[in-house]
Amino acid sequence: MNSIKVMSPFDGKVLDEIPLSNEEDIDLALDRARKVYEKQELWLPKYERIAILEKTVEIMSSRIEELTLIAASEGGKPYMDSKVEVERAINGVKLAIEHMGVFEGKEIAMGHTKSSVNRIAYTMKEPIGVVAAISAFNHPLNLAVHQTVPAIAVGSPVIIKPSESTPMSAINFVNILYEAGLPKAWCQVVVCHREVAQYLATSPKIDYLTFIGSDAVGWYLNSKVSPGTRVGLEHGGVAPVIVEADADMVALIPALTKGGFYHAGQVCVSVQCIFVHEDICDEVGLKLAQAAKKLIVGDPLDPKTEVGPLISHHEVKRIESWVNEAILGGAKVLCGGKRISESCFEATVLLDPPRDAKVSTSEIFGPVVCIYPYSDIEDAFKEANRLEYSFQAAVFTQNIDTALLAVKRLNGTTVMVNDHTAFRVDWMPFGGAKASGLGMGGIPYSMEEMSKEKLMVIKSSAL
């Protein structure tokens, strides 16, 4: 059987060797999942699902250090942030348990026309069917939770395909689910190359596809799924931020620093394009550069590290080429701008790169933020909205009218006021529109996506 070596993105150390699945393996996994879904006598009662998820929380809570080290080692996210990810993942399981208590249908009004008298109607929730989950590298444990636990909670069997770069966290999590008592057919993990992943995603045996990754791949898969397959896509964007002249500088700089350089910028809502009023543009650029220079870049397993490596050497080279293109076009480097090693890139702040440069038009997914001056906020809104992305955006101002205007004008599906774009809690709706994605994530929202409503109408002369 073919296999892949999972290596540390920081130093190239081999962490594990994982068997690769082929199309035959995918068919076996799909057949197991379809069997338990199509035979309702095999469905897990809600109380059993709750007990399994509660046991999962218990096991994960006893292994926080182990889970943290696995995620940090394979993904390169610094230890301090990987530990937060583990705690979020545990809370995500708790959120699913809590939402199961309010996951319900409703009465549909009858009798307000003559044709609908003597009837009563209710909707009820049922599992959508077999879920295929294709995941990304940047949050290897928390994304696995977000793409599998909602399915398990609503009673849909799920097959997860983690990133080839970071499969260990997902594999370990699925084994924890088994240890907690989940029968294997209800959650299976497959590690495979892109062609085999496409075979899974486009199979007529699945009912829902959840995909987290690049927009090119996501929209391609969306065009290839079998008829009737519901699809959820989470891509990314350029996370525009508008900073007005009255912004609180003391709060602003730490927020932009965290939002821009958290996980080396490898976050789908990482701060990227910052539009700053010309009256304070130089000050913001100077202070943000000063803060970025102080960040500790290096070994993700060192508890002091704040910015880890890029996921691959290829990504370091890509970031370097994008930054060089912007510099040649006239961007001023306020700090950084160069690779530190084959795996790490300096925290970089660029001032006024060309509007047609890649750093201005595409998701950087690296430790680079760009600052652009403006004089009229309406022009800033137009610049922020000019690309085909619509995910999370932000505005910093102490004027409530300006804040509300920004919320109205900005195209983001979420607009933060006086906070960075990378803020998220796992019970809020999270997802993009336009090129940024399709559908909505967040534990409760994913549970809705992975289920379907059935309407029951009863006719009776007693009504």
SS3 track for 347-365: CEEEECCCCCCHHHHCCCC
pLDDT tens digit sequence for 380-413: 999 999 999 999 999 999 999 999 999 999 999 9
**Residues in the chain, overall count:** 463
Domain assignments of the chain as residue spans, ordered by start = 3-235+436-458, 241-417
For the CA atoms of the chain, what is the radius of gyration?
24
**CA separation (Å) from 28 to 168, 188, 247, 302?**
22, 11, 57, 41
| Cα 380 to Cα 383: distance, rounded to the nearest angstrom | 5
Tell me the backbone φ, ψ of residue 426, rounded to 5 degrees. -85, 0
Per-residue pLDDT, 1: 61
Catalytic residue numbers read 234, 268
pLDDT tens digit sequence for 257-313: 999 999 999 999 999 999 999 999 999 999 999 999 999 999 999 999 999 999 999
What is the pTM for the complete model shown?
A: 0.95
Largest CA distance in the chain: 80
**Torsion sign (Cα): 330, 411, 369, 312:** negative
CATH architecture of 241-417: 3-Layer(aba) Sandwich (3.40)
| Cα 351 to Cα 335: distance, rounded to the nearest angstrom | 10
Q: Is 359 exposed, middle or buried (0-12, 13-18, 19+ CB in 10 A)?
A: buried
The class level of CATH for 3-235+436-458 reads: alpha beta
- Cβ count within 10 A of residue 373: 17
Q: Do domains 3-235+436-458 and 241-417 have the same CATH topology?
A: no
pLDDT tens digit sequence for 413-449: 999 999 999 999 999 999 999 999 999 999 999 999 9
